């Protein structure tokens, strides 16, 4: 699974006035950006995501606070903690993801290479495992 996600470290253009982080599509991340959304106000009990995407790639950035992302390719899984505004997590298509352990101040920014299309989401874990030919672990 290590070759399926990528932890990115964005540059800091800050100065004495404060920090500035720039993320340019197809330069700082592997795709052109078509969609931006952000998740906040999820408490620590909540599990979000719980889906895989046939067409969408994402970059997740906790611009404030922290959260954890469990990434599952159908064969193995790994947990990545997002806890720095300059850290990005790139996720390709066809990985199952769960986001959880949101801090009270968590603002999770998500960049995507697609416009929203509910039909490209796989929300059934068994269906996901079947499509990737993996082994069920939950």
Instruction: Catalogue the active-site residues.
Output: 51
H or E element, residue 9: strand 6-9
Q: What is the DSSP letter of 119?
A: G
Could you say which of 5, 10, 29, 49 contacts ligand TYD (CB under 6 A)?
49
Least distance from ligand TYD to the Cβ atom of residue 38, Å: 10
H or E element, residue 40: strand 35-40
Could you say which of 6, 8, 48, 98 contacts ligand TYD (CB under 6 A)?
48
116 near ligand TYD (CB under 6 A): yes
Other CB atoms within 10 A of residue 25 CB:
14
84 near ligand TYD (CB under 6 A): no
| CA 133/CA 45 separation, integer angstroms | 31
70 near ligand TYD (CB under 6 A): no
Least distance from ligand TYD to the Cβ atom of residue 51, Å: 6
35 near ligand TYD (CB under 6 A): yes
- Count of chain residues binding ligand TYD (CB under 6 A): 7
Least distance from ligand TYD to the Cβ atom of residue 37, Å: 5
| CA 78/CA 52 separation, integer angstroms | 15
Other CB atoms within 10 A of residue 112 CB:
19
| CA 76/CA 80 separation, integer angstroms | 13
Question: Of 2 and 115, which CB lies nearer to ligand TYD in the complex structure?
Answer: 115
The residues that touch ligand TYD, with contacts defined as CB under 6 A, are 35, 37, 39, 48-49, 51, 116
């Amino acid at each position: 699974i290590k070759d399926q996600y990528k932890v990115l470290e964005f540059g800091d253009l800050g100065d004495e006035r404060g920090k500035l982080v720039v993320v340019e599509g197809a330069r700082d991340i592997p795709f052109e950006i078509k969609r931006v959304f952000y998740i906040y106000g999820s408490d620590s009990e909540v599990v979000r995501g719980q889906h895989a995407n046939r067409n969408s790639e994402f970059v997740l950035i906790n611009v404030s606070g922290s959260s954890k992302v469990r990434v599952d390719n159908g064969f193995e899984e790994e947990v990545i903690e997002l806890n720095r505004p300059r850290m990005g997590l790139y996720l390709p298509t066809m990985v199952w993801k769960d986001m959880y352990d949101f801090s009270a101040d968590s603002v999770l920014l998500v960049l995507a290479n697609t416009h929203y299309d509910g039909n490209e989401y796989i929300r059934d874990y068994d269906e996901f495992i079947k499509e990737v030919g993996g082994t069920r672990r939950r």
